[in-house]
Structure 1
Amino acid sequence: MLDSIDGSASRYRLFEYLAASEGEFVSGPVLAERLGFSRQALFKHICALREEGLDIKSVPQKGYMIKNISETDPMSQTLMDFLLRDDPLFNKSIYFPTITSTQHAIKKLAQQDAPEGIVAVADEQTEGRGRRGRSWHAPSSKNLLFSVLLRPELRPGDVQLLNLAAGIAVRSVLKDQYQVDAKLKWPNDILVNGRKICGILSEAAGEPDRIYYAVTGIGVNVNFTEEDMSEEVKDIATSIKIEKGLTVPRPLLLSRILHSLSSYVLDLKKSDGKEKLLFSYRKECDTIGREISVMQDEEKFTGTAQGITEQGALVVKVGEKEKIFAAADVTHLRMK
């Protein structure tokens, strides 16, 4: 799997050259000369890019042209490599049309000593799951499903901070780029009007005093409609398409989320990074101040969410006492 990460260098060079001239035709002879391809090899690479779903126009006597790169969907390995090329952390990706789980793929790479920052993206997961091993299904090619490999300088008890960082990163993109009124629900959901638009799952491997690696999986409901939903999720799920009527290019959304996430993850390596992350999350978390129910180990508690600890755990006032939950299922009961 590691060998597949770099992809076709020649194909990427061709795409990069066309992208630099986006919206303008470049002749076949010029492309062949500048890139050192034969005419036959050039045509082969053009066909391969088109098979990835990239819209490359060709006109006799004019050459080849690509346009509207930022509006391109479906997913494409070459396009993802291009969009992530300047990201300070997440600049290597692997695309799967179908896979059991992007979490599984990244864990396997982590166990092979792959470096931090690799991203696995899929159009469809056959064994996608959320917290506590719950199955998680999404229609193919409608949503954004990906996992990232992290090697954070955190103690195992601080792994919840990765969920918080991912939540802030996704919410900021949804709100700033698409005007979606998204709310953070501790520990790992993003809601719009009480309906789920994003789920996050962070898992770590290590020893009692250190983390070897962590895998953070993110699923964003992007372009599915209510007709795509099963009956059991129609009242509890939503998407950007449903909320705003927009068909959103998933590769661009992916790059925006990863650029946002990389800044929060890299900040965690700084002396004041944890404090800054917690300040931002506490400010934006919609769970704080609400009456909630908490399910942990088959036991249910009802109380008021008071705040977030230094480790990212939830503080809840239950009766006259405060309880701290490092991980649990939370339901919002009342508006603030």
Structure 2
Amino acid sequence: MIYYIDPLNKESIEKNCPSFYDIHIFDTLDSTNTWLQEHSELPEGTVILADEQTQGRGRNGRSFHSPKGSGIYCSLLLTPQENLLDVLECTAMAAVACIKAIEEQYNLTCSIKWLNDILLDQKKLAGILCEGKLYQNHMEYLIIGIGINVHSFIRPKELESIAASIEDYTVIKKPRNELIAKFLTAFYSYYSKSDDFRSLYRQRLAFVQKMIQVITPQETYSAILLGVDDRCRLKIQKADGSIDYLSSGEISIRL
């Protein structure tokens, strides 16, 4: 149930973020990422927002619960002329932009579960899904989808103990438009290389020096999480003492 009327507004967002963005708002979409994939001919900087997603998606085929009016469901179209490793970096940029916006807006300290989850009090507050099209070893386009739980909502039973919303942890009421603008502004500062995101990413990385399980399609094994390198690959130490670096799409992490 939504207790705070908080409509999305194109003008309110655009006046507070860089002109790089062209924002489109929908009442309901199946998925903002899916919509952008179907309209990938649009210019770089196109932002799609929906007040509700009926088929919100996360990594590895998981769903992302997206009830009407309770969160930010946003996808951003990029055309980076770089190699595949930049998918990893763009995901990290989005994660840092998300926590920076939340901390500035609500004074809440979040952490990052590599690679694409934002945690608050060890519960999932937000998720990031990057999808792109690779052509001759270059990204033809990259879509960054982000979902943030802002207002309290009735959770499905399977999410009761693992999902958080901003409203669960603060009495501060701010429009979603402001948080979206802060996120987009921070992301652009990283994407345009005006600011570096790596230092804050490392500061907010969860489970450093903790034993984790690395789960791949081929095997599951334990390792110690050591940090990330400059490409945002996860640095781990295996049981035999060897060091390895893991990239997006290879693993899931469980404690």
TM-score (norm 2): 0.90
Are 1:189 and 1:200, in contact at CA under 8 Å, matched by a contact in 2?
A: yes
The equivalent position to 2:7 in structure 1, one of 45, 70, 74, is 74
Of 15, 36, 61 in structure 2, the residue corresponding to residue 133 of structure 1 is 61
Q: Alignment partner for residue 306 of structure 1, among 226, 229, 240? A: 226
Partner Cα separation in structure 1 for residue 72 and residue 80 of structure 2: 24
- Indicate yes or no: 2:252 matched with 1:329: yes
> Percent identity among equivalent residues?
29
The alpha-carbon deviation at position 218 of structure 1 amounts to: 0.4
Bigger radius of gyration among the two: 1
Contact 2:17/2:182 (CA < 8 Å) preserved in 1? no
Measure how far apart 1:193 and its partner are: 1.3
Cα offsets for 1:114-167 (capped at 9, x unmatched) = 211110000111111111121122221111100000112321122110110001
- The total of aligned residue pairs comes to 249
Instruction: Give the equivalent residue in structure 1 for 2:31.
Output: 101
Which of 273, 277, 293 lines up with 2:197 in the alignment? Answer: 277
Structure 1 residue 316 displacement after superposition: 1.1
Q: Return the offset for 1:86.
A: 5.7
Find the counterpart in structure 2 of residue 215 from structure 1: 143
Q: Distance in 2 between matches of 1:95 and 1:153?
A: 27
- Find the aligned partners of 1:304 and 1:294 in 2 and give their Cα distance: 10
Q: 1:244 maps to which residue? A: 170
Q: Quick check: 1:177 aligned with 2:97?
A: no
Q: CA deviation at 1:303?
A: 1.3
Q: Residues 127-206 of structure 1: matches in 2 within 5 Å?
A: 127-206=55-134
Contact 2:105 2:174 in 1 (8 A): no
Write the deviation string for residues 230-268 of structure 1: whole angstroms up to 9, x where unpaired. 11111101011001134432122111111111111111x
1:262 corresponds to 2:194: no
Q: Classify 1:258/1:185 alpha carbon distance in 2 versus 1 (closer, same or farther; 3 Å).
A: same
Distance 1:83 1:145 in 2: 14
Structure with bigger helix share is 1
Gaps of 5+ in 1: 1-70
Structure 1 residues 132 and 93: alpha-carbon distance in aligned structure 2, compared to 1, 3 A threshold: same
**3-state SS in 2 of match to 1:149:** strand
Equivalent of 1:287 in 202, 207, 210: 207
Q: d(CA) in 2 for partners of 1:182 and 1:325? A: 23
1:282 shift after superposition: 2.1
Would you say the 8 A contact 1:173–1:256 is kept in 2?
yes
Closer/same/farther in 2, CA of residues 298 and 99 from structure 1, 3 Å limit: farther
Aligned-partner Cα distance in 2 for 1:315–1:162: 18
Distance 2:21 2:5 in 1: 19
CA apart distance, 1:298:
5.4
Distance in 1 between residues matched to 2:178 and 2:203, nearest whole Å: 27
Give 1:286 deviation, angstroms: 2.1
Deviations 1:188-232 (A, max 9, x none): 01101110101001112122431111000000000024xx11111
Conserved? CA contact 1:184–1:287, under 8 Å: no
* Distance in structure 2 (CA, Å) of the matches to 1:85 and 1:145: 19
How far apart are residue 301 of structure 1 and its match?
1.8
Other structure's SS at 2:67 match: coil
Deviations 1:293-313 (A, max 9, x none): 121115222111112133322
Change (3 A) 1:89 1:291: farther
Q: What 5-or-longer segments of structure 2 have no aligned partner?
A: none
Q: Is the alpha carbon distance of 1:171 and 1:120 closer, same or farther for their aligned partners in structure 2, counting shifts above 3 Å?
A: same
Question: Which aligned segments of 4 or more residues in structure 1 are displaced greater than 6 angstroms?
Answer: none
In the other structure, the counterpart of 1:3 is: none
Secondary structure at the residue paired with 2:253? Answer: strand
Cα distance in structure 1, aligned partners of 2:210 and 2:61: 27
Aligned to 1:317: 237
Partner of 1:91: 21
Which secondary structure state, in structure 1, belongs to the residue aligned with residue 124 of structure 2?
strand
CA distance in 2, matches of 1:236, 1:189: 12
Residues 185 and 90 of structure 1, relative CA distance in 2, 3 Å threshold: farther
